Structure 1
Amino acid sequence: MAGNRGVTYQGPGKVSVETIDYPTFELKDGPGVNPANVGRKVPHGAILKVVTTNICGSDQHMVRGRTTAPEGLVLGHEITGEVVEVGPGVEFVKVGDIASVPFNIACGRCKNCKEGKTGICLNVNPDRPGSAYGYVDMGGWVGGQAEYVLVPYADWNLLVFPDRDQALEKITDLTMLSDIFPTGFHGAYTAGTKPGSTVYVAGAGPVGLAAAASARLLGAAVVIVGDLQEDRLEQARKHGFETVDVSKGDPRDQIEQILGVPEVDCGVDAVGFEARGHGAGAGKEAPATVLNSLMEITAAGGGLGIPGLYVTGDPGAVDDAAKVGSLSIRLGLGWAKSHSFATGQCPVMKYHRGLMNAILHDRVNIAEIVNATVIGLDDAPAGYREFDSGVARKYVLDPHNMTGKVTSVN
């Protein structure tokens, strides 16, 4: 049996690469594992040798100490891997397949899964609908920033790539299918983006850039990306998106300079609960800023797609209300303007096959747009530090150098 190592949360601001258990077809006790899931048999699972696994902004919320994640939790929910073993209940997935793993863990059997709501599966997390690998309060399924990982319900969850050589050639694009590309697409799609739309995306991190790219795929006439950091805005401009620097003030005036009117058809929140103020308040955390701003600048009858993460427990929040996810939202404004709101985990399966085809047929170069940078597993702590500083990169971990693209963190 091979050994295994993984990236673990060790307290606010700290991650380390540790020896962890090699996966088996049973969920064992460990940091973050729901007691009701301990001993759960997984004959329907597959063990994957991880090809690529990405550092996500959602991981950063935990690493900053902004959730109730326990120390020792193995991180990582953005996984692409090669199948090395399958359980006795697996019928279609084969050893040697290379596949994308949706970050949502779903059973494929419950009411929600059968309705395509795989982000809120009823059977994988004893505490609440919905689950994910390596994430706080998500059932305790071990994370995939590791050398090997277990994927339950493999026939249902895995998106197997049609050609191994083609997959490895385009792996830095395909690795984005596990989360950020479908999540960005979900934000743009649920905001109502269609041919000719004008779209504002709050946040120029990887999910925001994926949302911008998705809005363009959906036919938007103009895509505007807002952020506080100039290097991220430059990355957006590099790929043909208009930009707004919200450190200079309310985005309305800058949007008007671009469009001739101070509003857009569709708004996307790719920031989430650690939002900061605009203009004079740009350095201060103000978690309702983005949502309220989007209601201001989205036209009456427009939609807000909200893939940015909001939580029910934030020990580092600015006030007691925000610590339990209660924010000062101007819901009356959204109601008065007949806005639609779409929130929650992206149901990755709804989109990932189509987005895979867009990648394989050269309709989008998502790795270039998000500035994918491949590093080794041992460089994960440095990658977390760099990503937390706001660099315009998406760090991709390659534990076995299967991409042949591993570089060191600068």
Structure 2
Amino acid sequence: MAGNRVVVYQGPGEVSVESIDYPKLELPDDVVTGTGVKRSAPHGVILKVVSTNICGSDQHMVRGRTTAPVGQTLGHEITGEVIEMGDDVLFLNQGDIVSVPFNIACGRCEKCDERQTGVCLNVNPARPGAAYGYVDMGGWIGGQADYVFVPFADFNCLRFPDRDQALEKIKDLTMLSDILPTGYHGAYTAGVTTGSTVYVAGAGPVGLAAATSAQLLGASVVIVGDMIEERLAQARSFGCETINLAEPGELNEKIADILGEPEVDAAVDAVGFEAVGSGPDAGEQPAAVLNDIMNAAKVGAGLGIPGLYVTGDPGGVDEEAQIGSLRVRLGLGWAKSHRFQTGQCPVKRYNRGLMKAILADRVPIARNVNAQVISLDDAPEGYQQFDRGAAKKFVIDPHGMLKA
């Protein structure tokens, strides 16, 4: 039997690569105990992980900014090769290369029927919605590993139509598991369309994916704001305008310098709860970005909020922030008739169409987010670089398939 290794959270600022059991076609204890469903999962597959990425959501846990326990396995951005299947898997074959949405979904509940796979009702007894390798998300083993179990595989796995073509474009296709659909969800739910002017807060990988998506949706101008110049340079590399929020000045004035008017048609929060204020002496202000995008967006605009907000943050700046209660200027959003869209991106709503766009050379997402391939053993260093603000998207290659 093959061994297995996985990236594990060891406490604030520290991860390691640990040996664990090879996966079985079985549901995790939390799901079995909480729902009473059968442990055996003939509907699942075992994947040999082809690529798995480090996400900003992982980084929140590793910084100690969630209630993740020591020993939490990590990794929810998974692309893999099917190497073992249960008897109830009908439409996949061994050797298929598939993208796995970070949302785990049963495909059978009311929410899955409504294509709201981010809040599936049957895969996490604690709350609607589940994910691989994430705190409070059902106890599913993480995918920053050699091998991983995927349940309800016919529903959850997006099969790439041509194996050789998929491996040629794997650095782009690996982004389908999370950040590209998540960025697209942010832009789409903000109402970006032909000719829109767009402000994206945050030039991390999700922010850059949102900016890429806004361009794909037909935006005329995409402005990206961040406090790290290296990340802003990455946004400029594919045609975005940028605002350095570490410099003095009001956001609306800086938008006016670019557009000739102080507000945009649509805005996206790709930062989340570890937000900071603007200016050279800015400190952490969890609601800063939410308030910024309301200020920046026109009356009647949409606000897409793919940035993560949590109900438990031990490192929050005050008692309210520690339970996810933030000082959001809701009255401003109400007065401006804004539309808000929050929550996990339902990846399956978008991933097939985005796959087609990648295969047709319409979305150079790996270039735009500056994908850098590393080994599984180099994952701890990748986390450290990402935490320091590196303008890169780290793609883990456990078996050397990307390098080949």
TM-score, shorter chain, exceeding 0.5: yes
Aligned runs of 1:104-115 on 2, under 5 Å? 104-115=103-114
Alpha-carbon distance in 2 for matches of 1:34, 1:234: 47
Identity among equivalent pairs (%): 70
Alpha-carbon distance in 2 for matches of 1:240, 1:168: 27
Aligned to 1:234: 233
The amino acid across from 1:72 in the alignment is G
Aligned to 1:265: 265
Alpha-carbon distance in 2 for matches of 1:145, 1:35: 25
Alpha-carbon distance in 2 for matches of 1:137, 1:194: 35
Alpha-carbon distance in 1 for matches of 2:32, 2:324: 22
Report the alpha carbon displacement of residue 37 of structure 1 after superposing the two structures with TM.
6.7
Aligned to 2:276: 276
Alpha-carbon distance in 1 for matches of 2:385, 2:246: 21
Q: Describe the SS at the equivalent of 2:67.
A: coil
Alpha-carbon distance in 1 for matches of 2:271, 2:151: 30
Alpha-carbon distance in 2 for matches of 1:311, 1:107: 24
Alpha-carbon distance in 1 for matches of 2:348, 2:107: 11
Compute the TM-score of the two structures, normalised by the length of structure 1.
0.96
Alpha-carbon distance in 1 for matches of 2:4, 2:215: 40
Aligned to 2:129: 130
- Do the aligned partners of 2:31 and 2:124 also contact (CA within 8 Å) in 1? no
Whether 2:76 is the aligned partner of 1:77: answer yes
Whether 2:349 is the aligned partner of 1:350: answer yes
The amino acid across from 2:34 in the alignment is A
Alpha-carbon distance in 2 for matches of 1:308, 1:121: 20
Aligned to 1:408: none
Aligned runs of 1:4-83 on 2, under 5 Å? 4-29=4-29, 35-36=33-34, 40-83=39-82
Q: Describe the SS at the equivalent of 2:218.
A: coil
Alpha-carbon distance in 1 for matches of 2:343, 2:51: 25
Which runs of 4 or more aligned residues in structure 1 lie more than 4 Å from their structure 2 counterparts after TM superposition?
32-35
Flag the 1:8–1:233 CA change in 2: closer, same or farther, 3 A: same
Alpha-carbon distance in 2 for matches of 1:281, 1:322: 20
- Do the aligned partners of 1:37 and 1:139 also contact (CA within 8 Å) in 2? no
Q: Describe the SS at the equivalent of 1:279.
A: coil
Report the alpha carbon displacement of residue 280 of structure 1 after superposing the two structures with TM.
4.3
Any idea what the Cα deviations from partners look like across 1:205-235, whole Å, max 9, x if unmatched? 0000000000000000100000000000000
The amino acid across from 2:263 in the alignment is E
Any idea what the Cα deviations from partners look like across 1:30-59, whole Å, max 9, x if unmatched? xx8885379732211000000000000000
Any idea what the Cα deviations from partners look like across 1:75-108, whole Å, max 9, x if unmatched? 0000000000001111111111000000000000
Whether 2:312 is the aligned partner of 1:313: answer yes
Alpha-carbon distance in 1 for matches of 2:39, 2:176: 28
Compute the TM-score of the two structures, normalised by the length of structure 2.
0.98
Report the alpha carbon displacement of residue 364 of structure 1 after superposing the two structures with TM.
1.3
Structure 1: runs of 5 or more not aligned: 406-410
Aligned runs of 1:54-203 on 2, under 5 Å? 54-203=53-202
Alpha-carbon distance in 2 for matches of 1:118, 1:352: 12
Alpha-carbon distance in 1 for matches of 2:35, 2:99: 24
Number of matched pairs:
402
Q: Describe the SS at the equivalent of 2:246.
A: helix
